[in-house]
Amino acid sequence: MVGAGPTGVELAGTLAEMRSKTLVGEFRRLDTRRARVVLVEAGPRILPGFDVMVSRAAQRQLESLGVEVRTDAPVSEVTRSGAVIGGEQLAAGTVLWAAGVRASGLTEQLGARLDRGGRVHVEADLALPGRREVFVAGDLIAMTQDGRALPGVAQLALQSGRHIARCISADLAGRARQRFRYRDRGMLAMVGRNKAVAQIGRWRFAGMTAWWLWLIVHLLSLVEGRRRVSVLWEWAWSFLSSQRGARLIVDNPPNALRLSSEIFAEVDGGRPWN
């Protein structure tokens, strides 16, 4: 797992729990003890956007699940056989990239100044420089506030969308636009069963308390009441049974592989498919 932000931490914890709990009772010939989950971070600590204390608590929780955490370990190359980490070849059957992504290629057509990730440097009201009728929202925004870059999270998308709506209303009413101000409502990361970290204002939580906070926040973010009930039931069943519905295809009969190729070729307009 390359990248120890919230995505990398949550994926590493999930895979470690699948290895130790979910897969053990389902595959008799699979020795899960041989499986390794390695989380690699180029910086000095995991969860760099969180407080140092929260970061250390998350690392302890991951290590208790059997995750190998490597910091100060930049990945220079990903190959078919693994990854090169600080000049060392680490053999791996699967490499998952969670170290960040580039913005949509649409931003390159705007003629605006972009950052390294392809995000757009915007005006204070989120308008495109020189084009006040064009706005930029969500994780396409490249803006600093209080000396820190705005995070590409759902909170930013929601708040920037509401701000843009207010700017359009102001234009229609002949009022002046307001500056955009991002309000950090806290950060959470789920590590595993009864394991999570949370940072809300001056408050710091880890373990069961943070796990319950993560659960409540995600349930409240769902719009429909019925959806909340169904999700809560699914989570409760997964928690009590330790089942995640994980399935693996370990072998492909030749006929099944040939049939799949023919089906995809037909769907794809008759072009060859490999």
CA dihedral 236, 59, 248, 243 (to 10 degrees): -20
As given in the structure block, the two tokens for residue 222 are 């769902």
* Catalytic pick among 10, 26, 63, 108: 10
- Is 26 catalytic? The answer is no
CB 9 within 8 A of CB 45: no
The DSSP line for 142-211 is E-EETTEEPP-SHHHHHHHHHHHHHHHHHHHHTPPPPPP------EEEEEETTEEEEEETTEEEETHHHH
Pairing state of beta strands 120-121 and 141-142? parallel
Q: Distance (Å, rounded) from C-alpha 129 to C-alpha 120?
A: 10
**What distances in angstroms separate CA 241 from CA 38, 80, 235, one per listed residue?**
26, 36, 10
Catalytic residues, which ones? 10
